[in-house]
Amino acid sequence: MIVENISAPVTLVLHHPHFFSAEYWKGWSELTGCDIIAFDAPFHGENRVDQSYQDFAADTVAQARDLVDTPLVVAGVSQGGVIAQESSGQPGVVGVVGISTTRRAADDEERAMMNGTIDIWGTDGGPQPVAENIAADSANSEQPAYDETVAAVLAMTGEQVSHTIPLLEDRRGGIELSTPYLFIHGTADQTYAFEDMTEDIPAEHLVAVENGSHSMTRNSSEVVAKALREFALSLV
């Protein structure tokens, strides 16, 4: 868990993308001007508790409320964005933000691709060609996200992947959003197409990052942080 307290009027509860850990969010209090609490997702980082995204969202909001008494805005990237959506309506949560994420359940094609990934994973980490392909698609081959993603994939064990990919496969589509919400999405995202987001999200709730990749939180961090900060501070 990462906690950064700068005495801001709002706390961001932050959830990282697949393959990474809470360390992904180090320094984001300075970028956003908000206090932050970041958690390791199930079977990422130090977390070995096997939970659904729904249960994990509820537990992390409860933990955040034990740590701070400021309003909570829950945000996340990719799988973290799904967890953020599952946090809507939780006590103390005044808003949710999905970054480079989806509103849709996994379809048959995506499930087949993810199951195939489990089958070829090594015991101690992902194969180098797989890591490079994932990074190329996620980061559009741009640095620093490309190298960071390769390293994260190579470090994830077969045991971790056997737990984390089924969670992605079982994500819920159309999660009810009962609190104010925002989605931040890159127009060049190759994982979850921007065009799909324009179909699924009303325009007033969608911030487009021109030429942003799926990994734009790393490669365009100031742009993402600005949108996140403005939304969070507008709620308090």
How would CATH label the architecture of 2-234?
3-Layer(aba) Sandwich (3.40)
The residue-averaged pLDDT of 172-190 equals: 97
What are the backbone angles phi and psi of residue 156, rounded to the nearest 5°? -85, 125
Comparing 120 with 13, the larger pLDDT belongs to 13
The Cα–Cα gap between 125 and 131 comes to 9
Residue 133 CB contacts under 8 Å (≥ 6 apart), including other chains: none
**Per-residue pLDDT, 125:** 86
pLDDT above 90 as % of the chain: 94
Question: How sure is the predictor about 78, in pLDDT bands with cuts at 50, 70 and 90?
Answer: very high
Residue 211 pLDDT: 96
> Tell me, what's the pLDDT at 89?
96
Cα dihedral 160, 72, 198, 18, rounded to 10, equals -10
Does 84 score more than 90 pLDDT? yes
- Residues 6 or more apart whose Cβ sits within 8 Å of residue 226: none
The confidence score (pLDDT) of residue 31 equals: 96
Q: Which residues pair with 125 in a beta bridge?
A: none
pLDDT at residue 119 tops 90? no
Mean pLDDT score across all residues of the chain: 96
Q: Are strands 11-15 and 35-39 parallel, antiparallel or unpaired?
A: parallel
Q: What is the pLDDT, as a whole number, of residue 123?
A: 85
Q: What is the mean pLDDT of residues 52-63?
A: 98
Instruction: Please state, for a pLDDT cut of 70, what percent of the chain lies above it.
Output: 100
- Stretch 65-76: mean pLDDT: 98
Give the model's pLDDT for residue 53.
97
- Mean pLDDT to the nearest integer, 157-171: 94
